[in-house]
Structure 1
C-alpha cells in the first residue's frame, strides 16, 4: 500500500491551510470549522478534554464509503491557557502546532505506524498571534484504554501488545508529548493505536526521553486508579506492558 501523500496548500488573506488530496476531494477552509459540519448534519459525536473534540462523517460526492474524521481546535493548557486560551505566537508556519503535528502524522504514515492519518489543518493569523485547527482520521471501532478499563480488565497478551506498540514508536524516534491511558486506543480486533500527537516530535533514539515517556504513562494509570475504584489496573499489568516494551 502506498503511503505517499498528495499535499496541497490553500492561502487566502490571513488563513493558510494544508490538506491531503488523497483523503479529501472538495477541500474548503470551512471544513476546519465546527459550524460547517453542523450545517451539513455531519457531526456524529464529541468528546471533552482540554476543549471539545468533534467526530465527523465526510461523504464524498462520488458516493464512495463515508470517512470518519476528528476535528480538534488547539487550546493552551496550564495557567497561561486561562489567559490566552487558544492563541499562540506566530514565528513561521512550520513552527505552528498544526503544521508540526500534521507533519509528524504524515511521517508516521510512511513508517506504517498505528496512528491517525492527517487530513487537513488551518492556521489563522491575527497580528503576532495565530489560532489553529486539525482534521485527522478517526480510528474505526476503537475505544480509549481508560474507557475500556473502567468497564473490564484486559489480559496480559493485550498489555504486552500495548508495550510492544509503544516500543515501535519509540524505536523510530517518535516522542509523544502526552503519553497517557486516554491516548491509547484499542479497536475491535485488539489492535493498539496511539493518538493526539500535539507537541510530539522526532528525537534521537535514546533511553532518557523514552523512559521519561514511560514514567508519564505509569503516572496516568495511577491517576486513573485513584479517581475510580472500578478502574481495572494493577501493578502486575505494568509488568506485562513492560515485557512487551522491552522484548
Structure 2
C-alpha cells in the first residue's frame, strides 16, 4: 500500500447560536459561518462545480480562501433511507451531540486521518435541533483528480496490481477496526496517481475485531460489483478480479 502522508492535526473549534451547533477545523476554515453548510451559500458564490446523486444531492465546491488557495470540498446533507425516510426524510431523534450522524462521521474521519488512512479530511459539521429532532450536514475535503470504481470500470479495465492495492487498502482500514457501513464500488476512489481512497463513512464506526464484520464488509462489496456488472453497460469487471482483490487483502 502507498506510504501514508504526514497529516496535519485537526484543530477543532465550535460555533453555537440557539439551536444551531457547528464544529470545524480552523486549519481548513479560519472562521465558520453556519450558512457555509448550506448549498445555497455556495451557489450564490458560484462555487458549486458539480454534484452527485444518491439518497440526496452531494455538492462539490471549489472556493479560494483568504490566502488565495483553492479549496475543494464536498457538502452533504444527511437523509434517511428506507420507508421511514419517506415520512421524515432528513430528521433524526436527538440523543446527544456526539451521537448525531454528522458529529460521528466528523470524529471518525479525524481518527482515520490521524492514523494515516486514505480518507477525506473532515472540515466542518452542523447540527440544527428542532424539538426532539435534528437535521445535519457535513463538509469534507474532496479527493482531487479521482473517480470511483463504477466510473472507472464503465470505461476501462484495471490490472491485477491495482486490484491487489484495493484489497490492501481495505485491509488497512480493517486493521484499524474501521467498519464501513456501505462499502461498495461507488465508495472506492482511485486518483490519477493510482492511490486508492475510501469515502462516505456515514454510520461507520470503530468495532472490535473479534466480530465477523470484516467478512460482512467484503461480502457487501462483492454484491456491489455483481450488481453493477448487470446494471452498468460494458462494466469491466469479472469474478477473477475479485480474487486479485482478495490476494491483496490477504497478503
Q: TM-score when scaled to structure 2?
A: 0.96
Deviation, 1:229, is: 4.0
Is residue 211 from structure 1 mapped to residue 215 from structure 2 by the alignment? yes
Q: How many residues are matched?
A: 246
Change (3 A) 1:130 1:34: same
Equivalent residue for 2:93, pick from 73, 89, 93 = 89
1:199 match = 203
Is residue 135 from structure 1 mapped to residue 177 from structure 2 by the alignment? no
Deviation, 1:2, is: 4.7
2:53 match = 48
Q: Deviations over 1:169-218 (max 9, x none)?
A: 00000000000000000000000000000000001123610000000000
Structure 1 runs, 4 residues or longer, greater than 4 Å off: none
Mapped to 2, the partners of 1:3 and 1:202 lie a distance apart of 22
SS of structure 1 residue aligned to 2:125: strand
Deviation, 1:165, is: 0.3
SS of structure 1 residue aligned to 2:154: helix
Structure 1: unaligned runs, 5 residues or longer: none
Is residue 11 from structure 1 mapped to residue 16 from structure 2 by the alignment? yes
Deviation, 1:228, is: 2.5
Q: TM-score when scaled to structure 1?
A: 0.98
Question: Would the aligned equivalents of 2:125 and 2:138 in 1 still touch at CA under 8 Å?
Answer: yes
Deviates more, 1:19-28 or 1:234-243: 19-28
SS of structure 1 residue aligned to 2:193: coil
Structure 2: unaligned runs, 5 residues or longer: 1-5
SS of structure 2 residue aligned to 1:218: helix
